[in-house]
Structure 1
C-alpha cells in the first residue's frame, strides 16, 4: 500500500513536471509566433483599436490653410508611395494666453513612406529671414525678422509662406502643437527615455526657472517639455534635443501598447494640435508605417552666426548650410531618388 502511494506521488510529480514543461514550451511558441507575426498583429491592433475612432478624432484637429473645415474627397492611398513634406511647428503658447504665441520649434520633415524614412531639417527660431506677408512699414517690402515671429504675426499661413521662401521648397502640409500638448501626450504614454547625463537647469532670471535631473531612465511630460525648450547652451543644441525627443517619442508610440493609445493621445491634444493633413490620409499612413520596418530618422540643422541689429540678437544662416539643406530636401522629395542615390546628412544629429 505504502509502495503504491509512493509510486503514485512520483507519477504525480512527473505529471506536474510535464505540465510545467509543456506550459513553458507553449509560452515560447506564443512569444516566437508573436515576434514572427508582429507586423500583422500590429496591423490587426490598429484596425481593432485605432481605426474605428481615429478618423473622427482627427477631424477635431483638421484645419486647412486659409480657414474653413470642410473635408475634401479622400486622397488615394497610392499617394503614400510618393514623398511628401510637412512643416512641423511647436508653439510656445501657454493655456492661459490669448495670443497664438511663437513657433519655438520649426522643422521641415521630408517623408518617404515607401522606404519608411524621414528627414528632419531644423531651422533655429532666431534665424534672420524675410517674413513673407509682414509689412509693418507699409512700404511694399516684407520685413526681416526672426523666423519664430512669423507664427506670432500670421499663424501657420505666414510661417508656411516664410519657410517656403527661405528653403525654396513648397511644403505639402503643416502640423502645429503647443507645448502643453507635448506634456500631456508624454504623460499618457508613461514618459520617454532621454539621454540626459547631467542636470539641466534654467538659470537666466528672464527665463522660466526649472531643473531636470540627469541619469533617470524615464522622464515625464513636464521634464520632456523643459528638455525641448531649454536653450541656455545654444540654439543648435536646442534643435538637436528636439530631434532626439521626436525620435524617442516615436519609438514609444510605435510599440503595441503605444499603438492602442493613439486615439487617446489625439483626444488629449485636442485643440493643442492642428494640421491640414486629411484624417483619412493620416489613418492610411499610420497603418502603412506600422506594417513596415521601424522608420529611420535622419536630421540636419541649418547653423548660423550671431548677428545684432539695433540691439536685437538674430542668427544669420550659414549660406553653405542653407544650400546644403535645400539640396537634401530636393533629393528626398524626388520620387525618382532610389535608396542608392538618397543623400544622407553629412553630420548626424540624433544619437
Structure 2
C-alpha cells in the first residue's frame, strides 16, 4: 500500500509538453529549433566541437547496443559542471532521463549533488558529484549506473560557468522567481525577472538561502535551461544563430553524434508529450567530520531503480 501510494504521488508530478530534456541536445545543440537544418553546415561544424566519445562503446549493463531504428528505450545523463578557471570542477547538477518511444514518455530523475554513494573506481563512498572531479564523465556515468542499477547510454555535459555565454547569445532569459534572495551582490526579487548571462548564472547557483536547499537550486537551473530553449527557438534568434552555435560549441560536450541526434529526433520526438519528474526522497545529515551528505534509503533507491528499469524495458 505504501509503495503504491508513493508511486501515485510520483505520477502526480507528470508534466505535459516540455520536451525530453533532450531539449539540451535537440534544441540547444541543434540551435534554433524549427529552422536548424537550414543552417546544416554550421550546425554540423558545431557538433564536431561538442562530440566527445566515452572510453567504452556501450554500457556494461547492456547486452546489446541500443538501436534507434527499432526504437529501443534510451537513457541520457545530463551533467551541469561547475568549472571555474583551471579547476576541473564537479557535476553540481545530475539529471538522468529515460526515454521510451513506445509508451511515449520520459522519466527524469534529479540526483542531489550531496548524495552519498560508492564512487566506482575510487573504492570509497563520497558525494556523488565528486565522481566527476575524480574521473570525469566516465567515472560519473559508472557511479550513477551503480547507484540506480540502470544503464546510461549517452551524456550531455554543460559547463555552467560558460553557460552565461549561451544565455547572452540568445539575448537573455525571462524566469518567474518564487523566492526573494540576494546572491553574490545581486538581488533577485519575487516575480518575473529578465536576466542576462551573468545574473542567470548567479540565479542558478544559489542554494544556502533556499529552504529547499539543493532541490531549489535544481529547479532554478531547470528554469534557466527551459528559458534558453524558449529563447533559442524564437524568431528573434534567427539572426543570431552564429553566436548561439559558438556558445554551444564552447560549453557543451556529448557522446551523441549529429546522425544519432537526427535519428532521435525522428524516432523519439513524441515522447516529449509525457514527462514525469521523479524525486529521490532522502534525508541530510552531517558526518563526524562535519561534512554534509544526503542519504537515500535502499528501499527508495530500489523503488526508483525499478521504475527506470520498467521504462527501459529491462527485466
Query: TM-score normalized by structure 2?
Result: 0.75
Query: Is the contact between residue 58 and residue 266 of structure 1 (CA under 8 Å) also seen in structure 2?
Result: no
Query: Is the contact between residue 182 and residue 225 of structure 1 (CA under 8 Å) also seen in structure 2?
Result: yes
Gaps of 5+ in 1: 1-41, 69-74, 135-141, 203-207, 337-351
Query: Is the contact between residue 82 and residue 335 of structure 1 (CA under 8 Å) also seen in structure 2?
Result: no
1:251 pairs with one of 222, 230, 233: 230
Q: What is the SS of the residue equivalent to 1:99?
A: coil
1:98 lines up with 2:68 in the alignment? no
Pair 1:297–1:189, CA change in 2 (3 A): farther
Query: Is the contact between residue 125 and residue 147 of structure 1 (CA under 8 Å) also seen in structure 2?
Result: yes
**Alignment correspondent of 1:128:** 116
1:87 lines up with 2:77 in the alignment? yes
Looking at structure 1, the residues matched to 34 and 258 of structure 2 have their Cα atoms a distance apart, in angstroms, of 19
CA positional deviation for 1:264: 4.2
Pair 1:102–1:319, CA change in 2 (3 A): same
1:78 lines up with 2:69 in the alignment? yes
Query: Is the contact between residue 83 and residue 332 of structure 1 (CA under 8 Å) also seen in structure 2?
Result: yes
Query: TM-score normalized by structure 1?
Result: 0.68
**Alignment correspondent of 1:19:** none
RMSD: 3.1
Gaps of 5+ in 2: 1-31, 58-65
Query: C-alpha deviations, 1:135-157, integer Å up to 9, x for none?
Result: xxxxxxx1110111100111001
Q: Which has the larger radius of gyration?
A: 1
Looking at structure 1, the residues matched to 273 and 157 of structure 2 have their Cα atoms a distance apart, in angstroms, of 21
1:323 lines up with 2:308 in the alignment? no
CA positional deviation for 1:254: 4.0
Query: Is the contact between residue 303 and residue 321 of structure 1 (CA under 8 Å) also seen in structure 2?
Result: yes
**Alignment correspondent of 2:192:** 216
Pair 1:255–1:295, CA change in 2 (3 A): farther
Pair 1:261–1:328, CA change in 2 (3 A): farther
Looking at structure 1, the residues matched to 242 and 67 of structure 2 have their Cα atoms a distance apart, in angstroms, of 23
Looking at structure 2, the residues matched to 147 and 293 of structure 1 have their Cα atoms a distance apart, in angstroms, of 28
Q: Identify the range of structure 1 (242-251 vs 152-161) with the bigger mean alpha-carbon deviation.
A: 242-251
Query: Is the contact between residue 83 and residue 89 of structure 2 (CA under 8 Å) also seen in structure 1?
Result: yes
CA positional deviation for 1:288: 6.6
**Alignment correspondent of 1:182:** 163
User: Map of 1:164-175 to 2, 5 A cutoff?
Assistant: 164-175=145-156
Pair 1:289–1:172, CA change in 2 (3 A): closer
User: Map of 1:1-351 to 2, 5 A cutoff?
Assistant: 45-49=35-39, 51-66=40-55, 78=69, 81-94=71-84, 97-113=85-101, 117-134=105-122, 142-202=123-183, 208-232=184-208, 233=210, 234-256=213-235, 264-286=243-265, 295-309=273-287, 310-334=289-313
CA positional deviation for 1:109: 1.2
Looking at structure 2, the residues matched to 192 and 120 of structure 1 have their Cα atoms a distance apart, in angstroms, of 23
CA positional deviation for 1:117: 4.1
Pair 1:277–1:313, CA change in 2 (3 A): same
Q: What is the SS of the residue equivalent to 2:277?
A: strand
Looking at structure 2, the residues matched to 64 and 173 of structure 1 have their Cα atoms a distance apart, in angstroms, of 9
Query: C-alpha deviations, 1:322-349, integer Å up to 9, x for none?
Result: 233212322222299xxxxxxxxxxxxx
Looking at structure 2, the residues matched to 54 and 305 of structure 1 have their Cα atoms a distance apart, in angstroms, of 43
Looking at structure 1, the residues matched to 88 and 108 of structure 2 have their Cα atoms a distance apart, in angstroms, of 24
Pair 1:261–1:88, CA change in 2 (3 A): farther
Query: Is the contact between residue 46 and residue 260 of structure 1 (CA under 8 Å) also seen in structure 2?
Result: no
CA positional deviation for 1:287: 6.5
Query: C-alpha deviations, 1:160-210, integer Å up to 9, x for none?
Result: 1100000001100111111123211122222223220443223xxxxx554
